[in-house]
Amino acid sequence: MTDKRRFNSLTADLINQRNLVHETCRQFSRSPSKGNLKRLKALFSSCGEQVYIESGFYCDYGDAITIGDRSYINANCTIIDGAAASNKEAIGAVTIGQDCLIGPNVQFLAVSHDIEPQARRANKFNYVGDITLADNVWLGGGVIVLAGVSIGQNSVVGAGSVVTKSIPENSFYAGNPAQFIRTV
């Protein structure tokens, strides 16, 4: 993975940024009022019209998240996104298209770490991969989407699935790891 696709999340600036974002998420979870929802949406790179987010939403930075019009995010969604680089190019971006349905307890994990223990101890880098949901995607409850995955338009992922590879459009996938079930 190139240097452009990794970052050190333990810098003072990024720790402070995460703390501020986490506090905004906590305020929204305690009181999902219109005012707190507006503050939450302001964290994102872009947030469309008629987007509804249930309480329990959590993200790390927010500035790498884009949500399309009329998307619905159910309770306890977690987005572990990357930070925007100094040139404001998002790394570890999470894009949710228009008219998407995100079930409860869904996790978007755009950030990962070295597999080898020595490398994890030595460099402390986070490795990132963008996650993209095209328009009209439905993720069932408890789905986990890993870094580098794209899910095509009109596709459905069954509850409890772990998506480790990209999914083509008009497909139904389910399982751990998620596997093709049928065309929709």
Catalytic residue among 113, 114, 164, 181: 113
34: nearest Cα among 17, 58, 51, 18 = 51
Taking Cα atoms as reference points, which of 88, 11, 13, 8 lies closest to residue 21? 13
- Residue 104 to residues 57, 61, 142, 143, 165: CA-CA distances in angstroms? 10, 21, 6, 9, 21
- Asked if 22 is an active-site residue, the reply is no
Q: 3-state DSSP call for residue 19? A: helix
CA distance 171 to 7: 33
Catalytic residues: 113
